[in-house]
Amino acid sequence: MLGMMYCSKMAATSAGRALSLCRQFQKSLSISTALPLQHTNVLTSCKAQLSTFRPKFCLLHINNVGTSLAQQCRALHTSQWRRGLEEFFDETPNWGEPTVKSGAPWTAKQLRTKSSEDLHKLWYVLLKEKNMLLTVEQEAKRQRVQMPSPERLKKIERSMKRLDTIVQERENALRLLQTGQERARPGTWRKDFLGRTFWYRFKEYPIPWYLNRRYKRKRFFTPIFVDSFIRLRIESHLHRKILKKKADLENKRKLQEQFSKLSART
């Protein structure tokens, strides 16, 4: 399923398993497209395919065959995934192994090709996998044993981060097109009591601001006596800028002195 991608050079035993999973996934994907998209349905179909194997050819099947099966498989039931709490642990053959093979994490480029529904399912697959890895990690710490392949955790985290980036990108695009708003959370530029300008992000309150005592204690204006300090701050900023410029020129001059005889110039 859409778990972590495995390299194609896998053991022969897993190829058969991958094929069967591929078929299961085919069926369940077609069913999920046939049935109305409710939250629970998405999750049940997702549960049916939990596995850490995701062979490349699985994807090809979906692209070619998905639409035709949708019409036929209206009344089919997917088998309920009954593992329940066992999903918090790795597959039984992997217990006690010093290393467990896992593929590369999902890249942003690959994730951008997936539909939102697929990404939603993938999120939960990754979530379950991460729960499993955290369980194994904690158990290993308890038993004072090395956890097999701890790099899997990092891979999952990266995949999830990238998934989130892509979902955010899509949401941003939709919001820009529909409303023209650049940001999801409204905000504004304000001056704090020290005269510094910052982006204040709005927060939701059940009462208006003039009744909010704690909010009124935050001063979003600069008192007059701070002006001299603002001037000093500007001076020091300019001074630092000039110093930096001078230092850059000096550095350039030194390099020129050392390397002027070379013909190649970048």
Partner 1 sequence: MCLSVPLPRYPLYQLGNPQLRIFRTNFFMTLVKPGKEQPPDTVQFRIPMEMTKCDVKNYLEKIYSVPVGAVRTRIQYFKTDRAMLTSYLAIRFPKALSSLPGLQAQQQTFQFPEIFPQKDTALEPGSVEEMQDQFMQDEQQRQKADPRRGGVTEWFGL
Rule CB under 8 A: is residue 135 a binding residue for partner 1? yes
DSSP letter for each residue of 71-135: HHTSS--PPP---GGGGGS--GGGTT-S-----PPPPHHHHHTS-HHHHHHHHHHHHHHHHHHHH
Cα-to-chain-centroid distance, residue 43: 19
Rule CB under 8 A: is residue 120 a binding residue for partner 1? yes
Q: Which residues contact 215 (CB under 8 A, 6 or more apart)?
A: 205, 209
Helix, strand, coil percent values for the chain (each to nearest 5)? 60, 5, 35
CB of 75 vs partner 1, minimal distance in Å: 22
Interacting residues with partner 1 between 33 and 92 (CB under 8 A): 39-40, 43-44, 47, 80-82, 84-85, 87-90
Based on CB atoms, which residue is closest to partner 1, 213 or 265? Answer: 213
Count of CA atoms in the C-beta half-sphere (13 A) of 125: 24
Rule CB under 8 A: is residue 171 a binding residue for partner 1? no
Based on CB atoms, which residue is closest to partner 1, 80 or 178? Answer: 80
Rule CB under 8 A: is residue 206 a binding residue for partner 1? yes
Based on CB atoms, which residue is closest to partner 1, 95 or 259? Answer: 95
CB of 56 vs partner 1, minimal distance in Å: 25
Rule CB under 8 A: is residue 115 a binding residue for partner 1? no
Rule CB under 8 A: is residue 19 a binding residue for partner 1? no
Nearest Cα neighbor of 51 from 100, 123, 3 is 3
Burial of residue 158 (CB within 10 Å: 0-12, 13-18, 19+) is: middle
Residue numbers at the binding site for partner 1 (CB under 8 A): 39-40, 43-44, 47, 80-82, 84-85, 87-90, 95-96, 120, 123-124, 127-128, 130-131, 134-140, 142-143, 145, 156-157, 160-161, 164, 167, 185, 203-206
